């Protein structure tokens, strides 16, 4: 759902547009099913969202790619998988959980925000 808004403390400026469009998203934990790119530096993650939907994340930030890559690099890559649209990905052998911002609009976008550290310490499950 999109909303158009302006700051409550903003003054009126004639002839200028100061309204901003904002999009609603929910922060949820998602299980990593696979990745695109290399295990050391994945480009995108394939995640299972609550409710059973499988989605590919937007491109990972360099910091998150190296953090996730450190965990993915410890496991053995499984056979390649395919998304519903036919795009290939490498199935992950480790059970990593990431926090994602999942959009709630008609064309939802999934953005990986961070790896959940409580689940992994040096590649071993702790919780």
Does the pLDDT of residue 18 top 90, yes or no?
Answer: no
19 touches 3 (CB < 8 A): no
* Percent of the chain whose predicted confidence (pLDDT) is above 90: 17
The pLDDT assigned to 22 comes to: 66
* Per-range mean pLDDT, top range of 1-10, 34-43, 77-86: 34-43
Question: What kind and span of H or E run contains 104?
Answer: none
Does the pLDDT of residue 118 top 70, yes or no?
Answer: no
Does the pLDDT of residue 59 top 90, yes or no?
Answer: yes
| CATH architecture of the domain with residue range 22-125 | Beta Barrel (2.40)
In 10 A of CB 34, how many CB atoms? 24
The pLDDT assigned to 86 comes to: 84
DSSP string, 40-101: SSEEEEEEEPTTS-EEEPPPPPHHHHHHHHHHHTTSPP--EEE-TTS-EEEEPSS--EEEEE
């Amino acid at each position: 759902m999109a909303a158009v808004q302006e700051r409550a403390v903003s003054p009126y400026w004639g002839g200028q547009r100061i309204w901003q469009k904002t999009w609603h998203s929910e922060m949820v934990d998602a299980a990593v099913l696979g990745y695109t790119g290399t295990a050391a530096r994945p480009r995108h993650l394939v995640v299972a969202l609550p409710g059973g939907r499988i989605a590919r994340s937007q491109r990972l930030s360099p910091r998150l790619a190296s953090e996730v890559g450190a965990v993915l690099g410890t496991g053995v890559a499984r056979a390649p998988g395919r998304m519903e649209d036919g795009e290939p990905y490498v199935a992950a052998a480790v059970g990593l959980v990431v926090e994602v911002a999942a959009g709630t609009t008609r064309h939802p976008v999934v953005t990986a925000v961070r790896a959940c550290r409580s689940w992994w310490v040096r590649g071993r499950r702790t919780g």
